[in-house]
Structure 1
Amino acid sequence: MSAIGIYGSAGRMGRVIAEIAEEEGATIAGGVDAGDDAAALAHGADVLVDFSAPSALEAHLDAAVAAGTPIVVGTTGLSAAHHEAIDRAARHVAVLQTGNTSLGVTLLRRLVREAAARLGAEWDIEIVEMHHRHKVDAPSGTALLLGEAAAEGRETTLAETRVDSRAGLSGARTDGTIGFASLRGGSVVGDHQVIFAGPGERIELGHRGEDRSIFARGAVKAALWLVGKPAGRYGMNEVLGL
């Protein structure tokens, strides 16, 4: 079984990934946190999983490329510059990047894309997400992932259609936009709902994360799947064969 190296091993996700990997029979090559040697871990692992922080991502990608080791990027709150760095790394090693490693969310993304493609432009799309009070980025990476799926279904881009908040006299809703609302509180692992609101009817597609282990299980499955893949950029949909 492949040896998995974990970036962000002391964090909540890192600890659960280590537990799930051992349950699945995988070997833990080691873990790295802020100030540790990212390059040494990359050379000692068959595949890397990064759930650290956006500020550390480029260094971890560089280490993966230098070692020729595939890497799963589950860190959220990424900027356009981070995605450019991922694209550069993917020219040399296999990189799987996702805003959510849950297998359920992966399937939900496919359903959202299909619904957006088949419903007419008169159906408005709103995405509501809620997370624990300690989450620092909003909208969540998963919400953006679902928004991108909706935009793809409508053959547009999220950059062209995204509306993050409304307050005061914001005016009537602009046709074709994809709205986001972010809620924070308590210990919520992650709730996401995509609302398609049409004339006289509504469709609601959603997912509730009840335990953090669902993300760890998906991350381990993705990591083991990525071993041996040629250089390129991958997503969770390919892990499930969607």
Structure 2
Amino acid sequence: MSQMKIAVAGADGRMGRMLVDAVDAAPDAVLAGALGLAGTPAIGQQVGQSGIRIDADLATGLAGAEYLIDFTRPEGTLQHLAYCAEHGIKLIIGTTGFDDAGKAAIAAAAEKTAIMFAPNMSVGVNVTLKLLELAAKSFAEGYDIEIIEAHHRHKVDAPSGTALKMGEVIADALGRDLKECAVYGREGVTGERDPSTIGFATIRGGDIIGDHTVLFAGTGERIEISHKSSSRASYATGALRACRFLADKATGLYDMQDVLALKD
């Protein structure tokens, strides 16, 4: 059985180390490269069972790779994106915080190589997204919708990419545009709640991996749909599942709903 040759971006970070371990543990995968930021102490360090060294040079770090898993920052991912598109390396993107231009660049690169792009690769989160789509259609009238998310103190973007994806799924199910109906903060005299809005609340603290709750608040009842992560291992497992999904894809832009066959 041939093994998937996988490189990991940000291999010295919390998520990167988890991804390296997941690749090493998978019988159908081998670590083929590791990327890090130039000038950091991680450059040159060995990672994984194969002793691959972390490299800042893309040509060196990706020389033997067929796939790159990237959970870093938008600016770094976009640099990796251009290289992967040019050299036909398949890309699994879990990075969050992209602006519209960044998302457009990912879509354009997918015309040259296969890309799986999702703000959260947990199987549980993506099943939750499907549940939210079904729930939103049932609670379209008479229910106020609020999305509450909590993450560790080191997370730099808010709301989380997963929370925004939840909002997009709900808004689409209701025939709304999230850009027009989202409310990201409340302070002072805000007036009565507009029933057409979708509210977001953000919590940052400690070492919370990622908690997300969507509240449908009606008259006389509240429905809460929640997902709580206790380990980043579920993200790594999902990323490897995405690699397997892309194995027979040459180009195209996909998400975890495609990987899990959850689309209608």
User: Structure 1 counterpart of 2:102, which letter?
Assistant: H
1:147 alignment partner in structure 2: 167
Within a 5 Å distance, the mapping from 1:35-184 to structure 2 comes to: 35=38, 36-184=56-204
2:48 alignment partner in structure 1: none
In the alignment, structure 1 residue 197 sits paired with structure 2 residue 200? no
Q: Number of paired residues?
A: 242
Question: Alpha-carbon deviation of 1:219?
Answer: 1.2
Equivalent in 220, 228, 232 of residue 240 of structure 2: 220
User: Structure 2 counterpart of 1:57, which letter?
Assistant: T
| 3-state SS of 2:68 partner | strand
39-48 or 64-73, which deviates more:
39-48
Moved over 4 A (4+): none
| Length-normalised TM-score, structure 2 | 0.88
CA distance in 2, matches of 1:233, 1:199: 41
| 3-state SS of 1:44 partner | coil
> Which ranges of structure 1 fall in alignment gaps of 5 or more residues?
none
Higher relative contact order (CA 8 A, sep 6+): 1
CA distance in 2, matches of 1:228, 1:46: 12
| Length-normalised TM-score, structure 1 | 0.96
Query: Is the 8 Å Cα contact of residues 33 and 62 (structure 2) preserved in structure 1?
Result: no
CA distance in 2, matches of 1:7, 1:38: 10
Residue-by-residue CA offset, 1:208-236 (whole Å, 9 max, x unaligned): 10111111111111122212213111000
Equivalent in 9, 21, 24 of residue 22 of structure 1: 24
CA distance in 2, matches of 1:235, 1:58: 17
CA RMSD of aligned residues (A): 1.2
CA distance in 2, matches of 1:111, 1:5: 33
User: Structure 1 counterpart of 2:93, which letter?
Assistant: V
Of structures 1 and 2, the larger Rg is shown by: 2
User: Structure 2 counterpart of 1:37, which letter?
Assistant: D
CA distance in 1, matches of 2:86, 2:64: 12
User: Structure 2 counterpart of 1:32, which letter?
Assistant: L
CA distance in 1, matches of 2:9, 2:86: 16
> Which ranges of structure 2 fall in alignment gaps of 5 or more residues?
39-55
Query: Is the 8 Å Cα contact of residues 163 and 179 (structure 1) preserved in structure 2?
Result: yes
CA distance in 1, matches of 2:117, 2:61: 19
Query: Is the 8 Å Cα contact of residues 32 and 62 (structure 2) preserved in structure 1?
Result: no
Question: Alpha-carbon deviation of 1:136?
Answer: 1.1
Residue-by-residue CA offset, 1:38-77 (whole Å, 9 max, x unaligned): 2444442111111121111221111111111110110111
Question: Alpha-carbon deviation of 1:117?
Answer: 1.8
